[in-house]
Amino acid sequence: MSFDGILTRAMVHELSQHITQGKITKIYQPFSNDLIFVIRSKGQTHRLFISSNASFPRINLTAQSYENPKEPPMFCMLLRKHLEGGVIDRIEQPGLERILYIHIKSRNEIGDLTYKRLVVEIMGRHSNITLVDGNTDLILDCIKHIPPSMNRHRTLLPGSEYILPPSQNKQNPLKADEDAILRKLDFNSAKLDKQLVQQFEGLSPLIAKEIVSRAKLGDRKSLVQSFLDVMEEIKQNRYQPQMVLTSTKEYFSVVSLSHLDGENTTFSTVSQLLDRFYFGKADRDRVKQQASDLERFLRNELKKNQSKIPKLEKNLVDTKKADQFQLYGELITANIYQLKKGMKEAVVPNYYDEKAEEITIPLDLQKTPSENAQFYYKKYNKLKKSVQYIHEQITATTLEANYLDSLLQQLESASASDVSEIREELEEGGYLKRRKLTSKRKNNKKPSIEHYVSSSEVDIWVGKNNKQNDYLTNKFANSNDTWLHTKDIPGSHVVIRNAKPDEATLLEAANIAAYFSKAKNSGSVPVDYTAIKHVKKPAGAKPGFVTYDNQKTIYVTPDESLVYQLRYQK
């Protein structure tokens, strides 16, 4: 799994076909390291996604939508100034490096033609996006500033000359012939796949293992032929975008991965492959960073409530001693004539026992017999009164723990905007202090709910947090719409815009409900469904909590590929 030089070449080829000579109409920066270019080309509108995210860097045409910030960052403003309205002249790749040059021509404020170069470096944590003046090679700005103190080889700051990353002096595999391959490899040493990676640029360990695997026998002739065959596919731009899910990991490549044993999914374009592979991954990574304090708070509160329940249950067990205290009080009263102050205990017959056996009652030396009897009566009355209170506390604490658990589940599949709604919900519930805002909070803003379309072209709507769930179920849905939720498992509310959906739509909606639940990674998840009119929100209930009846249950196994398809392949 890697965005290597071969995949970069495939992406350059694909982008050149779709957006060359296209006009840049809009530029957005939804996140600190991500850009969206809206490009109009050959009668179609394309969305080019570019990310310098340290964990998930990539560039591809995307079908996914992103919520844009109200105020664009400075880098986005600069790109809009120089590139909006410009035309993509050509897209290039230096050698087989993980670098793309997007050449753009546009006109400045006085109408003169100018040339800019957007340099996209896909290199893990060193990934960057840099805007370079096409005439002077000077950097106008970059999404990540790298001063000389961080990198002695090159400086990535406005005004500095753009310099390529240091060369590794590897040979271009597309230009290698049989003799060059034989000279580069030591067949007497092991690990030929690692030798390929060390000697040839653009090769990931994954493709190197595929080359060695295709050679089968591993002799020189078969390995060289395997190498040349793979390179010929690359030269001819005969790519096979695919994702392979093994028992331990997911892999993607534009070369057929015959050496991997797993579930293989092919795609018609490299962009579709990357869109699918990174579906949700980058969002979850961003949410994990942005909501780490929120997650920590929820886990601590959940732990407090979970530890409180056993203590309450222990107190409930203690209340069973109430009858014993009552017995002590009555027996002391019945035998008060033979008891005196200063006695440690009273041994008296138990009149309530058929055998009338004697019972030993502890006494307080400092109390009179009458005071000892009153002491046990008070303990009896206190425990009897506490039974109902403890039951109420156990119920309330259990509901609280379930509520907090559901919020943790929602964080797992939340987007950045979902996180802000969850945080707002906790503030409204008094769990968190309200943050100081620079502008007035828009309380009348409707929550944004996700839209899916079934294979039968029926609309499916999903709430991914409690605010969205409340809005979807109680305001957005019609009384005869079909409502779904995982049975006794925290999860999203799902609504089908149909009173009697077909079986395929019902199963697909159930799959979505199971995917956005705590049972996301389980098999055969029970999902209840009923009409919206049978779903009620109790007065004073926590956000997102409802009761329902007249339900039926179906069982599904969550499938991320299906959820992605219903979301983006409309």
Q: What is the 3-state secondary structure (H, E, C) of 183-227?
A: HHCCCCCCCHHHHHHHHECCCCHHHHHHHHHHHCCCCHHHHHHHH
Six-digit token pair at 416? 């950045």
Give one DSSP letter per residue of 222-256, joined into a string. HHHHHHHHHHHHHHTT----EEEE-SS-EEEESS-
Domains of the chain: 5-142 (2.30.310.10), 173-277 (1.10.8.50), 294-410 (1.10.287), 450-568 (no CATH)
Residue 471 above 90 pLDDT? yes
Residue 570 above 60 pLDDT? no
Q: What is the pLDDT of residues 300-346, one digit of tens each?
A: 999 999 999 898 888 888 777 788 888 888 889 988 988 999 899 99
Which residues, at least 6 apart from 187, have a Cβ–Cβ distance to it below 8 Å?
220, 223
State how far the alpha carbon of 37 is from the alpha carbons of 48, 222, 342, 474, 497, in Å.
Answer: 5, 45, 91, 37, 33
pLDDT at 216: 80
**d(Cα 243, Cα 396) in Å, to the nearest integer?**
47
pLDDT at 439: 47
**d(Cα 98, Cα 170) in Å, to the nearest integer?**
14
Residue 443 above 60 pLDDT? no
Tell me which range, 144-158, 178-192, 280-294, 435-449, is most confidently predicted by mean pLDDT. Answer: 144-158
111 torsion bin: left (phi>0), alpha (psi -120 to 50), beta (else): left
For the residues 50-58, what does the mean pLDDT come to?
92
Contact 100, 91 (CB under 8 A): yes
**d(Cα 206, Cα 365) in Å, to the nearest integer?**
83
Give one DSSP letter per residue of 427-458, joined into a string. HHTTSSPPPP-SS---TTPPPP-EEEE-TT--
The structure's pTM equals 0.74
Q: What is the pLDDT of residues 1-31, one digit of tens each?
A: 578 999 999 999 999 999 999 999 999 999 8
Strands 242-245 and 250-253 come out as antiparallel
